[in-house]
């Protein structure tokens, strides 16, 4: 038993940390979030594809790296820590479902180009939020809060735990995409209206539930990175900021708030790593582990930034300070793919309560 990252996993972590810190300083994050039309550049996406990140979870048959949920969680934590805007999560989420539930032909058609960085995907979810109706091989209805849809090529429509997911070509007829206001400015959201759009059901043998759990854990991992980063901001401020002639961190009301942040951040990290390991190695434990991870990390992912804002005081409430960007990501993640309460409901279901 070894509950810590392996050397290879540490290498992924280190590469991601360095790459993201060098390419995405706060001014670049703000430029992409507020001034760039699409929210990322072609050069940036090419660099991400070069690192193999869209290929991370894709199988070897499609030219992917065939890595597991633990490696994905490690990368996602760094993406949350850096808050780098890019359409990677949405693409990986689509890839996970296609990998799980697509047949060989479908996997080759979509996952190959995703691996090369030539195709981007996105997903509507969580699966029980579907507002679209299938009529044969067409779909009609409105999907809210679809991430990065305007820059994606294909959309995976999730239909509830047992429903077969369908894939829509976003460049096809009967598809309209409109930008939606988003709490988190670093992840673009869109309203996608389907009006008789052609949709192809995934035809593989496996249901998508394992992929859905992996998506939830990937988001939870991102929230761990958000919590870690904002805890560091709070600790740095508590060391440097002086009031009453001493650093505010000597006051227990402040230092104990920081200690609480560590408790929640480390707890979320443990829950996420366990769930990711279970997804890879112990599928029987995975549904419960994933629900626990998403629930706990959803709470920590916004509570830690909110507590950090309190430690920062007035400066933390300004637009100028970067903290709010992480607070917004953390709060948005808490709501996406099932909030804490809905995952606790799932925990209760799985415990036969």
Partner 1 sequence: VDLTPSPQEQAFRDQLREWLAANHPGPEPEGDVAGFQFRRDWQGRLHADGWAGVSWPKEYGGRGATLVEQAIYNEELARAQAPSAANVIGLAMGGPTVIAHGTDEQKRRYLEPILSAEEIWCQGFSEPDAGSDLASLKTRAVRDGDEWVVTGQKVWTTLAHHARWCMLVARTDADAPRHKGLTYFLMDMEQDAVQVRPLRQITGEAEFNELFIEEARIPHANIIGGEGNGWAVAITTLMHERATLAFGLQIRVKITLGELLDEARESGATADPVIRDRLAQLYIESEVLRLNALRGLSAIMRTGVPGPEGSLGKWQWADVNQALTELALELRGSRAVLDDDRWTYRFLRARANSIEGGTTEILRNIVAERVLGLPRMR
Q: Which residues bind partner 1 (CB under 8 A)?
A: 1-6, 9, 70, 235, 238-239, 246-247, 249-250, 252, 255-256, 258-260, 262-263, 266-267, 270-271, 273-274, 276-277, 281-282, 292, 295-296, 341, 344-345, 347-348, 351-353
Nearer to partner 1, 104 or 350 (CB): 350
Residue 117 region, left (φ>0) first, then alpha (ψ -120 to 50), else beta? left
From CA 277, how far away is CA 273, in angstroms rounded? Answer: 6
State in angstroms the smallest separation of the CB of 320 from partner 1.
25
Name the 3-class secondary structure at 40: coil
What is d(CA 196, CA 221) in angstroms, rounded to the nearest whole number?
Answer: 36
In 3D space, the residue among 117, 72, 90 whose CA is nearest the CA of residue 225 turns out to be 72
**304: closest CA among 224, 194, 189?**
224
Measured from the CB atom, the residue of 51 and 262 that comes closer to partner 1 is: 262
Of the pair 68, 204, the CB lying nearest partner 1 is at 68
Residue 8 Cβ vs partner 1, minimum distance, rounded to whole Å: 11
Cβ nearer to partner 1, comparing 197 with 261 = 261
The alpha carbons of the chain give a radius of gyration, in whole angstroms, of 20
Q: How far is the CB of 351 from partner 1 (least distance, A)?
A: 6
Q: In angstroms, what is the minimal distance from the CB of 213 to partner 1? A: 15
Min dist. Cβ of residue 152 to partner 1 (A)? 31
The H-or-E segment that residue 19 falls in is helix 7-23
Q: CA dist 220 to 23, 165, 267, Å?
A: 24, 22, 12
Q: How far is the CB of 245 from partner 1 (least distance, A)?
A: 12
Burial class (CB in 10 A: 0-12, 13-18, 19+), 15: middle
Mark 265-274 as b/e (b = at least 16 C-beta within 10 Å). bebbbebbbb
| Least Å from the CB of residue 219 to partner 1 | 17
Q: Is the bond preceding residue 126 a cis peptide, omega within 30 degrees?
A: yes
Cβ–Cβ < 8 Å for 168, 143: no
Nearest residue (CB) to partner 1, 237 versus 328: 237
If the CB atoms of residues 9 and 214 are measured against partner 1, the closer one turns out to be 9
Decide if 33 contacts 184 (C-beta within 8 A): no
CB of 19 to partner 1, least distance (A): 22
Take residue 89 and report the two structure tokens written for it.
Answer: 């999560």
Give the nearer residue to partner 1 in terms of CB position, either 204 or 330. Answer: 330
Q: Which is nearer to partner 1, 91 or 295 (CB)?
A: 295
| DSSP code per residue over 108-135 | IIIIHHHHHTS--EEEE-SGGG--EEEE
Which C-beta is closer to partner 1: that of 65 or that of 262? 262
CB of 288: closest distance to partner 1 in angstroms? Answer: 9
7-23 vs 42-50: helix crossing angle, rounded to 10 = 160
Cα pseudo-dihedral 279, 282, 283, 289, rounded to 10: -60
């Amino acid at each position: 038993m070894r509950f810590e990252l392996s050397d290879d996993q540490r290498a992924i972590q280190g590469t991601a940390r360095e790459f993201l810190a060098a390419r995405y300083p706060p001014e670049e994050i703000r430029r992409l979030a507020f001034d760039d039309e699409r929210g990322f550049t072609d050069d940036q996406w090419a660099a991400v594809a070069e690192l193999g990140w869209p290929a991370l979870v894709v199988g070897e048959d499609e030219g992917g790296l065939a890595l597991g949920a633990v490696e994905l969680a490690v990368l996602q934590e760094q993406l949350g820590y850096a808050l780098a805007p890019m359409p990677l999560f949405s693409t990986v989420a689509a890839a996970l479902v296609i990998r799980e539930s697509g047949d060989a032909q479908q996997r080759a058609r979509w996952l190959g180009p995703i691996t090369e960085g030539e195709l981007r995907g996105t997903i509507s979810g969580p699966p029980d939020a579907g507002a679209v109706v299938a009529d044969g091989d067409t779909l009609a209805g409105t999907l809210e809060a679809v991430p990065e849809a305007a820059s994606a090529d294909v959309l995976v429509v999730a239909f509830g735990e047992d429903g077969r997911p369908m894939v829509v070509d976003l460049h096809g007829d009967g598809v309209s995409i409109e930008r939606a206001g988003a709490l988190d400015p670093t992840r673009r959201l869109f309203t996608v209206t389907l009006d008789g759009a052609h949709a192809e059901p995934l035809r593989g043998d496996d249901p998508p539930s394992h992929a859905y759990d992996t998506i939830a854990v990937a988001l939870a991992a991102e929230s761990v990175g958000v919590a870690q980063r904002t805890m560091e901001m709070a600790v740095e401020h508590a060391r440097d900021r002086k009031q009453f002639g001493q650093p505010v961190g000597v006051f227990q009301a402040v230092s104990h708030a920081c200690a609480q942040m560590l408790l929640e951040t480390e707890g979320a990290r443990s829950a996420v790593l366990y769930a990711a390991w279970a997804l890879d190695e112990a599928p029987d434990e995975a549904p419960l582990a994933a629900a626990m991870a998403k629930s706990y990390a959803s709470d920590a992912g916004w509570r830690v930034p909110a507590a950090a804002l309190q430690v920062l005081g007035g400066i933390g409430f300004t637009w100028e300070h970067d903290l709010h960007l992480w607070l917004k990501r953390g709060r948005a993640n808490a709501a996406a793919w099932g909030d804490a309460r809905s995952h606790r409901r799932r925990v209760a279901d799985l415990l036969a309560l």
